[in-house]
Amino acid sequence: MSSPTSIHQSPRHQQPPTRSWASTSVSDFQAVLKSSKRVLALCGAGLSASSGLETFRGAGGMWRDYEASALATPEAFEKDPGLVWLFYAYRRHKALNAKPNMGHYALAELARAKGEEGFMCLSQNIDGLSQRANHPPAQLKLLHSSLFDIKCFSCPYIEKDNFSDPVHPSLLIDEASITARLSAASTPISLSSASASKPPTIPLDELPHCPACKTGLLRPGVVWFGESLPKQTLAEVNQWIGRGLIDLCLMIGTTAQVYPAAGYVQVARMEGARIAVVNMDSRELGAAGGLRSVDFLFEGDAARVLPDILGGVVGELEGFVGEVAMVNGARTGEGEGVEEEEEMDEVQKYFAASP
């Protein structure tokens, strides 16, 4: 039985392309951002799209190819833990090889500029890219936890920040065949027949087991559909929200269809906050509903739009983003393999040093 704090998806809200009353003026937005004392952001998969990570819904979204209920629920794990592990091992592999983009860096700078009381970022993303962009940890709440947490399916054991790739020898990712394999194995038809006739994708004794209780299977530590958001995270978010009215709510790269996360946009709006949507697709307004003339809509890639709209407010962003662009530019050409290895070392070091 799901509780109000457990993840669930609302019916689809995609709106037909109608005239939007929202402003698209960057200078008006910057004036509002400057004068806003408390800003809340809700981020989703679109923030990491230009880092090369797939979104869930919309064009190219992975839930178009895979069946969510076959991969992101405790029931799916019970039926075929090997299949679910392959899906998450694949996403770990992709996330570890991706780099934060300028959208992540811009938000991290905004957090520093506004301070802890002035800005809070709620992320539905589990990819670790905001952390790697040095987003201040106290101003980043991971509503759906992290791809890099691993816990026991049977006992309270949890390991944080496990960045091994592969996470276990049985979960070595062969990128060429993994997507076809997941897609074939996770259709609703094969799910319903999985337990009855199909052999498990990977034999149980080959999957990672809990080092504490020795008998339970380890599972990805992310929050699945039907599961509750982390209690401590919810408490911290609610404390921040309870400390004062929210002036502005940024909704970045999310369809805002998955609750409870999307509910925070509605809370902010009921408190009188203006809404600013950053999305590739202006129909994807989810919980923001119809935008009003006091709201903002910036259609485009979050990695490009965020530095643009936050740049005038966040003091050193332009110079900082320039540096990031140079680092990205320097990746091409000879010696790329060596640089990528060095970058992976940096990823490991970053996470090893993080609390």
Contact footprint for ligand APR (CB under 6 A): 44-46, 49-50, 55-58, 61, 124, 144, 253-255, 258, 278-281, 284, 301-302
**77 Cβ contact list (under 8 Å, min separation 6):** 84, 153, 217, 219, 224
Give least dist CB 59 to ligand APR, A.
7
Q: Which amino acid would we find at residue 24? A: T
- Residue number, 14 or 97, with CB nearest to ligand APR: 14
**176 Cβ contact list (under 8 Å, min separation 6):** none
Active-site entry in 93, 104, 135, 144? 144
Give least dist CB 45 to ligand APR, A.
4
- Residue number, 82 or 103, with CB nearest to ligand APR: 103
Give least dist CB 306 to ligand APR, A.
9
Cβ-contact 282, 12 below 8 angstroms: no
Q: Which residues of 20-40 are buried (b: 16+ CB within 10 A; e: fewer)?
A: bebbeebeebbebbeebebbb
Residue 312 φ then ψ, to 5°? -70, -15
Residue 40 φ then ψ, to 5°? -115, 135
- Residue number, 82 or 253, with CB nearest to ligand APR: 253
**215 Cβ contact list (under 8 Å, min separation 6):** 154, 209
Give least dist CB 136 to ligand APR, A.
21
Assess whether 144 carries a catalytic annotation.
yes
- Residue number, 57 or 269, with CB nearest to ligand APR: 57
Give least dist CB 352 to ligand APR, A.
26
- Residue number, 210 or 257, with CB nearest to ligand APR: 257
Strands 158-159 and 150-152, how do they pair? antiparallel
Q: Distance between the two ends of the chain, CA-based, in angstroms? A: 34
Q: Which two tokens stand for residue 189?
A: 């038809």
Give least dist CB 103 to ligand APR, A.
7
Residues of the binding site for Zn(2+) = 152, 155, 210, 213
- Residue number, 225 or 351, with CB nearest to ligand APR: 225
Separation between Cα atoms, residue 135 and residue 130, nearest integer Å: 6
Name the residues annotated as catalytic. 144
